Amino acid sequence: MTNPNDKPKLVVKKKNMQPVIEYCLENAVEFAVKHKPLPDDEWEIELNISTIKKAIQLGMFLRENRLYPVGMEPVVVPVPKNKKTTVIPKKEEADVEENEEETIQESTLSKSEPEKGNTLF
């Protein structure tokens, strides 16, 4: 179980630091910033939250900005790969269309020409 006196900590990169600091200044939340030089030049921001209302507001802000406190990162579930689907190449589709046109032309030619074997005269 965590200690109730623990303060929430965020580990953010430089590009995400400005919105967090602006939020803290606007909502009068005390904070401390520490530089973590390794591995990706990240910053650790420790927030001093004193009331439940401020905690809820902070949680809403963090979710809106897709930031997560240390130890509360979302679990990434691997997505199963779909079975390979067979894709008909465009060349075959063109061949099918040409074959359809040939059969249509043949059927129209045979209808327009009178049949010699079935005539009475």
Is residue 49 in a domain? yes
Per the structure, how many domains does the chain have?
A: 1
Domain for residue 58, yes or no? yes
Full 3-state SS string of the chain: CCCCCCCCEEEECHHHHHHHHHHHHHCCCEEEEEEECCCCCEEEEEEECCCHHHHHHHHHHHHHCCCCECCCCCCCCCCCCCCCCCCCCHHHHHHHHHHHHHHHHHHHHHHHCCCCCCCCC
The pLDDT of residue 81 is: 73
Please give the pLDDT value at position 58: 92
Task: Render pLDDT for 2-39 as a digit per residue (tens, 0 to 9).
Answer: 566 688 899 888 888 899 999 999 999 999 999 887 77
The answer to whether residue 110 sits within a structural domain is no
**13 falls within a domain:** yes
Residue 54 belongs to a domain? yes
- Has residue 32 been placed in a domain? yes
Domain residues for 16? 9-64
pTM over 0.75: no
CB-count exposure of residue 58 (10 Å: 0-12, 13-18, 19+): buried
Give residue-wise pLDDT tens across range 41-99: 889 999 999 899 999 999 999 999 988 888 777 777 777 777 666 666 666 555 555 55
> For residue 100, what pLDDT band results from cuts at 50, 70 and 90?
low
Q: What is the predicted pLDDT for the residue at 1?
A: 40
Kindly state whether residue 101 falls inside one of the protein's structural domains: no
Query: For residue 47, is it within any domain?
Result: yes
